[in-house]
Amino acid sequence: MRLLPWRPAPHGEEISEQLDIIPATVQVLQHVRFKYGCRHCDRHAEASTIITSPMPAQPMPGSIASASTLATVLTAKYVDGTPMYRMHAALLRGEVEVARTTLSQWAIKAGVMATPLYEAMRQVLRQCPVIHGDETRVQVLKEDGRSAQSQSYMWACGIEPYAYLRHILTELPCRQAGADVTDLLPFNFKKN
Together in a domain, 102 and 125: no
In a domain, 93, yes or no: yes
Together in a domain, 109 and 143: no
Distance in angstroms (rounded) separating the CA atoms of residues 59 and 67: 6
Together in a domain, 139 and 169: yes
Q: Are 87 and 70 in contact (CB under 8 A)?
A: no
Together in a domain, 133 and 121: yes
In this prediction, residue 183 carries a pLDDT of 61
In this prediction, residue 169 carries a pLDDT of 57
Distance in angstroms (rounded) separating the CA atoms of residues 189 and 107: 34
Query: How many domains are contained in the chain?
Result: 2
In this prediction, residue 84 carries a pLDDT of 92
Q: Which domain holds residue 123?
A: 117-177
In a domain, 70, yes or no: yes
Together in a domain, 121 and 144: yes
In this prediction, residue 160 carries a pLDDT of 66
Give CA torsion, residues 171, 175, 180, 181, to 10 deg: 0
Q: Using CA of residue 63, residue 64, residue 66, residue 69, what is the dihedral sign?
A: negative
Distance in angstroms (rounded) separating the CA atoms of residues 141 and 151: 10
In this prediction, residue 119 carries a pLDDT of 85
Q: What's the pTM?
A: 0.67
What is the full per-residue pLDDT of the chain (192 aa) written as tens digits?
Answer: 566 677 777 888 889 898 888 888 888 899 999 998 888 887 888 888 889 988 888 999 989 999 999 999 999 998 888 999 999 999 998 888 999 999 999 999 999 999 998 888 888 777 777 777 777 787 777 777 878 777 777 777 777 655 554 555 555 544 455 555 556 555 555 554
Together in a domain, 126 and 172: yes
